[in-house]
Structure 1
Amino acid sequence: MTRAIGLFTATAAAFLAFATPAEADSPTPVYFRVGNFNCSIAPDDSVGCDLPQPLPMDFPILGEFGLPWLGPVQHVVIDLPWLPAHPTYPPGTPFTLPGGNPDISEVATSQSMYQKTITHGGTTCLAGFMGDVTCTAKGHSFVVTVYGIHAH
């Protein structure tokens, strides 16, 4: 019974946290949307995005030199400090809330005329005025545009 109450309390707290703006010390994920790209930043500074349709991706091999990833990518993530941004193949849309993510302007930690930025822990994502998303985490980054994904 105590375990069930604890689980219920943790679940309720998680749902309440999704409705609040991003805070650097928040122990819950922060979800946001830029155009059709739905992303989230986890408490461990991992970041990932669900894309509405598969896109080509280049994967860094030696510094800035990149090779095309084999096949289109629908989910991109930075989750390990020793691995650059890379595709992931989870079922469903793990970086999207059931009712959809809030627009980045609703959770942004800073905004200007041309860009909206969200910083959560050690991760920063920004939305450019052309609808691109750039995320930096764990010493790596990726840029998602309507044309493809570039990993750094």
Structure 2
Amino acid sequence: MSLLIVRQQLEQALDAITPKIDTAWENVFYVPTKGVPFQRVQLFYGEPENPTMDGFYRDVGFLQSTLYYPLQSGPGDAITRAQLLRTTFYRGRSFVSGKITTVIKGTAQRLPSIVEDDRFLVPVRVPFFANVLP
């Protein structure tokens, strides 16, 4: 259940960012509109950590939002959105739901830009860990 709750916490925070842009969520049908920016969201998990013997564990991973902007319009809008992700998911921000606390463990990383078809892509990774109490 913790995996679902962590996803909900992070996706709700992402969805609350304004101004809004279209979002392609994992395993949800989405057709991009030509010329309209959107983001594709993925959640990646690493190996859980078990720092104690009492049932407490820590999920670790990152939320990745890949920003898709029209090609040949310059990097400014995509970079501005990447910065907005950084300020929303700042180091130390936490989300609490019952016995699960998800914490942003570092500054979001802007990965190298990619050109794909008619889009300029900017991937942004937000590292997190989630403490899951027994």
Class of the TM-score when normalised by the shorter of the 2 chains: under 0.3
* TM-score where L is the length of structure 2: 0.26
Higher helix share: 2
